[in-house]
Structures are given as C-alpha cells and as structure tokens.
Chain A
C-alpha cells in the first residue's frame, strides 16, 4: 500500500474517502460516500470549504503530489499522510483483510500479528463502495481471510453487489474449511465469480507442515481444497520457490496432477525477500539458476497432467528460456522495479522485474540483460 504525504483539511474522519477533482465533484457527489477534493490552488481550497459550509458534510480538501483522481484512501492518524487502498490506474488491486494468521510460513512476507483487526472488514466494504470503476480482478489478502468468518462473506457480498463484473481472488490456506460453520458461512450460496489462491508446499504432510511451521496444516489444506471443489469454486495453487519446496517440486507437481487435477492453474512464485523470509534466509534465498532443471522437469510434469501453470515474481533472466513464455508480469505495481543491469535488456517489456526491496534482501538470481540474439529461437 502506498503511503502519501498530504496536506489535509482539519478534522477529517478517519475512514475511507474517494479522491475527486474539484471540477468533477459535482458530477460524482453522492450523500452516502466521502470525498477528498484534490485541490491545486488556494481558490479551490476555499471553494471546497465554502461548499462544506453550504451543507456538504462529507467533503474535505486535500493536497498531495502523489495522489490520483479516483484513489481510494484512508487518512493515517496523527500524520499528514494517507494510505492508498486502491488506485484505478494500477494493474493489480487488492484489499487487506486481516493481519492474523493460523499458519507461520518460513517465507511469510506479511508476518502475522495477534491484534483483533476486525475493523478491516468494514474498511474493505467501504473501499468497495467508494470504488468508482469496477476492476476486472480484486484480490483479498492477509493474513488469513477465513479467520473473519462471516465478515469475509460480507465483503464478498459487497463486491458482488457494487461490482458485479469484478472477479474476486481470495488468498487463503483453506485450513478453516475443516470447520462446518465456516464452510456454510462463506461458501453456501456463493455464486459470484471468485477464485481461491491456495498455497501448497509439499506432496506429503511433513514437507508442507514444515514450510508452514504448523502440524496438521497439510491435511486441513487438502480438505479445504476438496471442499472448495465440492462447492464448485475455482482454485489456483500457489507454490513459493524456496529451498525445501524446490527439493520436492517435481514430486509435488506429480501429486497435484494425480490428486488435484481440478485446479485451474498452478502459480510458481519467486520468494519475496521480506518479512520472515529475511529471518529464514538460508532456507528462502535461492539462486533460481541452480534450479533450472528442476523447474523444467516440474513444468513438464504439470503439462503431462494437463495442469496449466505460470511463473510469477521471476524475472526472465532467472528462468530457463524454455519457460519464458510461462512467466508473468506479476509484481504489484507499487512494489516492482528493475535493476541497473536491466538497461538494454531485450526482453525488459515482458519481464516482471524485481521486488523493490531486493536491495535489502536478495535477487532471485544474478540479474543480467538478455541480448537480442538470445531471443531468436
């Protein structure tokens, strides 16, 4: 989430607002939303204050270079800053559901905390209401969204109501579907376009449980996947490419092929060098070059079982060339960057680049520009 320095009218409410220009306020205004009017002049600032005096309690002026029209923002307490929850121009949109989690993955990029942050549900619903343009895809992340129970369903319902054409993707370990109540709260009668993104890190319990540092997680996740399939829900499996996973990857691919052929696709993902991954560096930092053959063998196995797959968070120079067509530009807009070495790379346009914090962490493999000659097959 972007954090932007701003100047704000005094005494604004600590809740979701939509950023609107002064010129467009009239056409967008509605009594049930809240607006920050983006002003660039003293005149417009005064005009906004006047409108407020005339009876519009739900507007306030805001000034900030990094803001864009349509931004869905929430002010940060005691600071002249706002968090941008959603930005129209982004390629990827997601809402944060909770920072609590019931697993403890070695490479977790969002280390969980204990606090009850149930208020995030209301904030998410509000953001959905304030969003002007329906994004093609909207992600729900965390932490573990299933911990919200009915709160998650409320968010899903809000999206279905306000943005019926939007596809939702929910990032979850699926473990709580072992609880009948959770299944009925969240899945009963769920017909909106949704896809569940479920991590699977091993072909047997001790491998997967080790990676998520929780006994019993594998069995619960498998049960959760079957429950989703029984409810006609779409699934994407997510596999983060850290060392203990890479060691078993071809076997994991075969396990998926034999047992979970109903998944829509498998996402093989470079590890984000952040959060717990930094604490477990010797297990999480890998040079993908050294695993090229493993990646190729695993991809081949998935093809054998007709399971679609793609690579994410992996720059092209880190992958064997035979897999370039399976790689995706996937790092969130606010997180990605290119290294100095990327200048002059012939395939930069099709590449995901790197996580912007690679400098403090590590690169997925030595970065090198691809020469034009290499791309001619």
Chain B
C-alpha cells in the first residue's frame, strides 16, 4: 500500500508559547500543538492531509521503500549547510599589538601605550601571512585586532602589503578588516585603506555617556574621538566602509532602545547585540559587570524589538545576531558564520596569529591566554598549517564540539543550527568537556532559538520577508 506516512528522524522541544517545534535532518522545521504532536508520533496517518503533506515536504514524514530522489535531496540539503565547515580556514585574525589607550572594564587584553613588549615581530607577521595562503579556501578574510592595531599602523601596512604581493600569484579573494577605536585614524591611513580595500570595524557601546562610562580614556572622550574617526573614514572611504559593534555591560542593560537608536543616528546598517564574554579580566569584575543569561536575554529581546520597529518605519538596519540565527534556521545555504558551527569553527575555520608568537583557535582563546590559561595554544606561528589543524588542541576542540558526541545535543532540535563552544567552556569551567546544559553558551542559544522560532510562528508576511532577507548569505562585495 502506497503513501503510508512513516516518522523520519527528528528532534523536538516545547516552546514557552505552548507549541512544540521539531526539526528534521535537512534542518526544516514544523510546529505542533501538544495534541498534534501526540498524533504525529503515534498515528501520523490520522493527521489532516494538508498537514501530512507539509510534514512530508519538511522530511518529518516519509515512506518505507526506495525513494532515491528524496534521499539524494536530503543528502544535498545537509551538504549545503556544511560548506563553511568543509572549506579550509577562511577567517584569519592577526593581533599585531596589545597597546591601547583605553582601559575598558570588560577588556582582558590591552596594555598601555608605553608597553612595547606586547607587539608582534616582523618575522612573525610575515610567517603568519604565509601560513594564511596554505589554507585551501579561495575566499579569505584577514582581520586585524588588538589592543588597537592602528597604534601600530606600520605593522598592519606591512602585513597587508605582504599579503597582496603574494596574492598576485595566488589569486584568492581577500577581504581586509581592521578592528579599531579609530582614534589614530588619519587621511594617510585612509589612502592606504582605500587602495587595498580595507574595511573598518569599530566599537560603539551606545549613546555617548554609556560609551564613555564603559570605555574610559584619560580625556573621557572616547565616544567623540571614535565618531570623528567614523566620519573621516566615511568621507574618504565611503559610507559603508565602517561597521560597529557593541559590548553589553550591566550598565547597558537598562536601555537597549537607546543603544539601537544611537546606531540608527550614526547611520549604521548593522548592529550586533553581543553578550559579554565571561572571562579574563572581566571575571574579576563579574559582580560589577556580569549579568545572568536571563538578563541578557531580556535586553536582547527589547533591542531586537527596537530594531524591528525602525525597519517598519523604513530604516534598513539589521541585528547581526538575529541574522546569524535566521541564516541557520531559514536558509538552505551556509552564510559562513564561524560561530555556532559543529564542529566548532575555532581552530578549523578561524585562526588567530597572536603578538606572542603563538597561533590560537579564536579571539576568545587568545584572551584566555592573557589571564594565564595558555592551554589552547595550537602551535607557533610559522608551523605548517597542516600541523596546526591537526594539533592536539584542534582535535580536542573538534571532539568537544561535535553535536553527535555531545550528550544534551543529540536530542536538541537546534543541533542542526548550533554546536557546543568548548573555548567558552574552557573559560567558564576550565575544561573543554562539560555537559552542554551547564554552559552559558547553550543556555543562551536555546533561549535565542526558542524566541526566534516563536517569532516566526506568529510573524506576519512583512516580518517574514524581513527575516528571510536577513537570513540570506551576504553578497559580500563593497558597493
């Protein structure tokens, strides 16, 4: 007898709105009321035909017997989500110096301007650049962080020139980004950046008072000087050459709407409502700066709502965290976000070449080293890429972040979109291997995915249009 519906592999979860969300192998999802879910599990043939059809279309129901077309389709869907994982490392972060004028309360790393000892040697810079080209990925992002890389603009320049020279024969597509407060930015630097198509990424924590409180410098005018840098960059490099990020402190929690409004005021197209990394120097100030997962969650919801409010009034601004989540949930294609990969992108899709001469698997890992925990060093700069990628650290990270291995991930419907963050776990608990439910990373993402799914279930057509737009992989070319 044909067309008898059989349950296909799925995971499911109850949501706060009373519905149940289930995801299939392909990453498609469906919502059920509790009674529908019971029916689905025990007697799917009794569900209304339209619903059965929808569930089949999402590969939650299927047939016994050979169906090679559908099988091939599911295989292809799974592969489409894993493109970033399968390429070579595509994001390379170079930390030329820790020097910085700020003493931000949440920063673990920066050193004073007088401190010469936390700066990368030229040898290491060039070795790092050469290692980058050992990656198999045709598309590369090279990002400079610090400290404040512009304090040692000469080192940034050296690296960019070295990479461009080699790229004449390599012919990869390379994007350059410099993460900086922009206080040191001057027209000469802009000329260089323009010539080599370098993007700028800066920090704006919110309105001026909040920003300056979070990010003190002697003149107490961090905000003003950053805004000046933004204006200079826009004038010489184009409006969209600068993006901004914020860091959420407990001071930020009070007024997410003001932070969003500040970004709109400054004309940014993206805002990333980022939670605070819970380690390093910041741990000392946890009581002052720290907040619970729930508190961040409430903050985030309000902030996202404010962003959506602006969109409904014709202002095109995206919330980046939502873009990442929605890409995972709604798009057939991987957008190349190294966060939330399984196995983790740290040490496989991302590499950090640190001023101290070592290679680390992620930004957070090199910050962890500053607090004394150097266990996540993958190897020395200059070692062959293959060795780094096969190092004990890399392998442990992979094992600790594979959803199939992680108890607590196997039954979670978000395991197609998410994965454990072992670097985070190392920072929080001192070990890579920890039951995921205990980690802030898991708690936060369960909450975020729950919230997003509830939004999607009740979204009107306009909001769905917006969400699908946000979910699309970016074109990634400067206008």
Contacts and interface: CB of A to CB of B under 8 A. Distances in A.
Interface of A: 178, 202-207, 215, 218-224, 226, 247-248, 251, 254-255, 257-259, 261, 297, 300, 303-306
Given A219-B70, A226-B72, A248 B461 contact: no
B3 A206 contact: yes
B355 to A, nearest CB: 43
B56 A204 contact: yes
B468 A304 contact: yes
B69 A223 contact: yes
Contacts of A255: 57
Given A215-B2, A300-B465, A304-B464, A223 B72 contact: yes
Interface string B441-479: 000000000000000000001001100110010000000
Contacts of B77: 258-259
A278 to B, nearest CB: 27
Contacts of B298: none
A258 B465 contact: no
A253 B76 CA distance: 19
Specify the main secondary structure of chain B where it touches its partner.
helix
B54 A251 contact: yes
Interface string B24-35: 000010000000
Nearest to B74: A259
A215 B66 CA distance: 13
A226 B69 contact: yes
B53 A219 contact: no
Contacts of B472: 306
Interface of B: 2-3, 28, 50, 52-54, 56-57, 63, 67-70, 72-73, 76-77, 332-333, 461, 464-465, 468-469, 472
Contact of A248 (B3, B53, B73): B53
A178 B68 contact: yes
Given A204-B53, A223-B68, 10 more contacts: A178-B69, A205-B67, A205-B70, A206-B53, A219-B67, A219-B69, A223-B72, A258-B77, A258-B332, A259-B77
A243 to B, nearest CB: 14
A226 B468 contact: no
Contacts of B54: 203-204, 251
B28 A258 contact: yes
Nearest to B472: A306
A299 to B, nearest CB: 12
A205 B68 contact: no
8 contacts: A178-B69, A202-B53, A205-B56, A205-B63, A205-B67, A222-B72, A222-B73, A254-B57
B57 A226 contact: no
A17 B472 CA distance: 54
A258 to B, nearest CB: 6
Contacts of B468: 304-305
Nearest to A259: B73
Contact of B332 (A178, A202, A247, A261): A261
Nearest to B75: A226
B136 to A, nearest CB: 23
A221 B28 CA distance: 21
Nearest to B3: A206
A259 B332 contact: yes
A257 B472 CA distance: 12
A248 B48 CA distance: 13
Contact of B57 (A204, A247, A306): A204
A218 B53 CA distance: 13
